[in-house]
Amino acid sequence: GVRAFDVRPELMDGAYFTHHTTTCGGFGCLGVPLTELFGDLRAFLDAHQEVVLIELGAFCSTGLDDADLLALIEDTLGPRLYAEPEGETRAFMQRPLAELATVDGGRAIVFYEGLADSAALRQAGRFSRAQLTVDGYWSNVTDVELLRADQVGRFESFDPTAGRLFELSWTLTQDQDLALTCIGPPEQATSIRQLADAANPQLGPVLDDLVARGEIRPGRIPSVLSIDFADTFVTDECLRLTHLNLR
């Protein structure tokens, strides 16, 4: 499998950060500087033969035409940025992982929300989200039981014969009341980490129930587990689903 990260860039006071806000210029919190995020990613890929997907979207005060943002990403990742080889005709999701990484380290594949899909852009290391043939969507709730009902319902209606993967989005989303707490001292704000700590322990039981009811079965699994903060339990769940799918 691969790791994937949803990154929302915002330009603030001449520097790029991640953000989680109600709207651009609205309430919410800024995260780490993008220089730090992509620098850490480069160091990780230099040392590990892994494939990492970066999905960029929800741009604020920046966008696809921001040459400085593109340069930051591409210069920082350097040779770790995956660019499509000339002459490649297979859909991205049909390519073996072994072809995406290299023997001397890993690769980051960067997808841009709203980017047109063309061979020239892919060969420059800029991929459209249209290349990710994945169904599923975030629930936009702050309550675990509402999250459970929404995501289970989405999976129950998933058609695996359509040639797409399913993403189980196990994430609680900051609402406006929580976003307002970002105005005050940082220690008083409810962090995304705290929301993840509430949701993550319930993922295993939900998957257990879907398996027990036959909703998850060979040929019909959630191929992507989306959570806000990962730990080793996520790898264990992914391996469990993969082994079930191979029966």
Q: Give the DSSP letter string of 83-122.
A: -PPTT--S-GGGS-HHHHSBTTB-EEEEEETTPPP-HHHH
Domain enclosing residue 218, as ranges: 134-245
Residues of the chain with pLDDT under 70: 1
Tokens 């339990």 -> residue: 233
**Are residues 85 and 111 both part of a single domain?**
yes
Contact 225, 237 (CB under 8 A): yes
Q: Read off the CATH number of the domain in which 122 is found.
A: 3.20.20.190
Regarding whether 194 and 86 lie in a shared domain, the answer is: no
pLDDT tens-digit readout, 107-118: 999 999 999 999
Report angle CA 11, 138, 202 to the nearest 5 degrees.
120
Half-sphere exposure of 188 (CA within 13 A, CB side): 7
DSSP secondary structure letter of residue 23: S
Alpha helix (H) residue ranges in the chain: 34-47, 67-77, 97-100, 119-123, 144-156, 176-180, 192-199, 203-212, 232-245
Tell me the pTM. 0.86
* 12 & 123 share domain: yes
pLDDT tens across 146-181, in order? Answer: 999 999 999 999 999 998 999 999 998 877 787 777
